Every structure is written in C-alpha cells, then in structure tokens.
C-alpha cells in the first residue's frame, strides 16, 4: 500500500499568515481607540465592541493556523524526506498501521524478547519521527526489509539514564523522557535497528549514522536484547552504564 502523502504547505504561507496577523492587530488597535472615545453614541460603541470581539477571534484563529503550519515544517533537517534508490525506499512511519507492521517486523526477529507495541505506539504519538522504515518494491508490492526506532531524549532522561535509575522504558514514561521534536535533543534513545536482507540492514545502518550526525546529540543510549545486538553495540563502541541498569551508552 502506497504511503499517505504528507500535506504540502501552501505557497507564500508566511506572507499570508503575517498579513492576517498584522491586519487583525491593527483592527483591534483601531477599535480600541474607537471604543475609548466617550463621545460615541451607545449603538456605535456596542458595534465597536462586537467588531473587536470578531477581530480578536480572527487573531486567535490566525495564531492556531500558524502553529499548525509550523508543526508541518521540516524540523531542522531531521524530517528527512522519503528516499528511493532502485527497488528500495526509506520513509517515516505515517500511520498506526505502519507502527503495527513495524512491531510485527521486530517481533519476528526477536521471538524471545519482543518489543512493546504500547511503547512503539506511544513513541509515534509523542513524536511521529521515531520509526524509520526501509521497504523493497517489486511488481508494485512493498515489503518491509529494515527499520530503525529512535527517540530524542530530554535532559531529565539523560540524567536519569546516567544515574542508573531507569531500568526499563515504557509508554507511561514518554512524556518525561521524549521530546516532541528533534530540535537540539539532549540524547538519543536507540530502540532498535533491524533488517532481513543485506540491503535492508545496510539502509537502516546508513540512515541511522547520517541521522545521528545531523541530530546534534551528544549521547546515545540503547539496550541489547539479543546476542547479535550485544555484539553490534560492542563493535560500535558502546559501554554498559552499570548495574542495575541494562542500558548501554556511547558518546557522540
């Protein structure tokens, strides 16, 4: 199934929002001056108050529109667009169905210690840029062959990781430990890297490396859940935080 396209920003949206806000503010100022004039008749003052309320409502609507547009902007080069080379494509998870498919993919590779579906769903709801998918396409059919699960951490999360007070990570902790954007994260949590084909693994690792460089984070945290995962962390220079924490850390 083809991914749902992300809504495009309207052309000249900055100018439109700026003009809307400016005209609304000028209208409020003009009406305030009119209302403050005691020589006006009662019906004119009442009309000014009504117009002022309409202008204020317009301003609030403009502010809401601005914020909604900002949420659709690329987040400091972190919102990497989907990329395609040959039969392989990489993109962010774009729906709860994508998250469920990613969970099934990881669970099939980790039968003895499957990931938490609630955690993956919570990450997606907290920050949609946490699950990166690698797909291959043949005969108009897409197949998931690799993925990366990462999350931007707050300063409190980094402090608690280093203090060994975090021994597990679940969906109830995300509001304290995971930020809603990738702007200046204090650390990065690596929830999983997997691939079922050599190309899928290569794409996942290549994306992870480039993304971590662009994130500006100074530390990476992960928990090995398989012998292969432990080997990869050791090879990548991770060190155990220490008991009772099962997490490992690497400076970036």
175-209 pLDDT per residue, tens? 999 999 998 899 999 998 888 988 888 888 888 88
> Is 221 a residue whose pLDDT tops 50?
yes
In the chain, pLDDT over 90 holds for what percent of residues? Answer: 35
Question: Pick from 124, 80, 101: which is nearest to 194 by CA?
Answer: 101
Distance in angstroms (rounded) separating the CA atoms of residues 121 and 109 = 19
DSSP letter string, 168-181: ---GGGHHHHB-SS
What burial class does residue 219 get, using C-beta atoms within 10 Å of its C-beta: 0-12 exposed, 13-18 middle, 19+ buried?
A: middle
The answer to whether the predicted template modeling score (pTM) of the entire model surpasses 0.85 is: no
> Is 78 a residue whose pLDDT tops 50?
no
Q: Which residue has the tokens 């769903």?
A: 121
Q: Do the Cβ atoms of 107 and 114 come closer than 8 Å?
A: yes
Distance in angstroms (rounded) separating the CA atoms of residues 59 and 48 = 16
Interval 161-174: pLDDT, tens: 999 999 988 888 99
3-state helix/strand/coil string of 179-226: CCCCCCCCEEEEEEEEECCHHHHHHHHHHHHHHHHHHCCCEEEECCCC
**pLDDT greater at residue 108 or residue 49:** 108
Which strand (E) or helix (H) includes residue 150? strand 141-153
């Amino acid at each position: 199934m083809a991914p749902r396209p992300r809504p495009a920003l309207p052309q000249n949206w900055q100018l439109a929002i700026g003009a809307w806000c400016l005209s609304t503010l000028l209208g409020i100022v003009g009406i305030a001056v009119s209302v403050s004039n005691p020589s006006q008749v009662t019906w004119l003052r009442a009309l000014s108050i009504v117009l002022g309320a309409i202008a204020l409502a317009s301003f609030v609507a403009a502010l809401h529109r601005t914020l909604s547009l900002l949420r659709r902007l690329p987040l400091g080069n972190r919102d990497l667009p989907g990329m395609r080379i040959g039969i392989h494509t990489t993109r962010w998870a774009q729906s709860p169905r994508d998250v469920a498919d990613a969970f099934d993919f990881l669970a099939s590779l980790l039968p003895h210690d499957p990931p938490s579906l609630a955690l993956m769903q919570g990450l997606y709801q907290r920050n949609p840029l946490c699950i990166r998918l690698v797909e291959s396409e043949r005969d108009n059919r897409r197949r998931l062959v690799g993925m990366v699960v990462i999350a931007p951490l707050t300063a409190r999360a980094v402090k608690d990781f280093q203090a060994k007070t975090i021994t597990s990570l679940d969906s109830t902790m995300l509001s304290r430990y995971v930020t809603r954007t990738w702007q200046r994260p204090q650390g990065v949590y690596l929830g999983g890297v997997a691939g079922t084909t050599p190309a899928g693994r290569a794409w996942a690792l290549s994306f992870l490396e480039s993304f971590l460089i662009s994130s500006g984070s100074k530390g990476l945290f992960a928990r090995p859940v398989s012998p292969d995962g432990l080997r990869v962390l050791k090879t990548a220079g991770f060190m155990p935080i220490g008991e009772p924490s099962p997490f490992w850390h690497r400076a970036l």
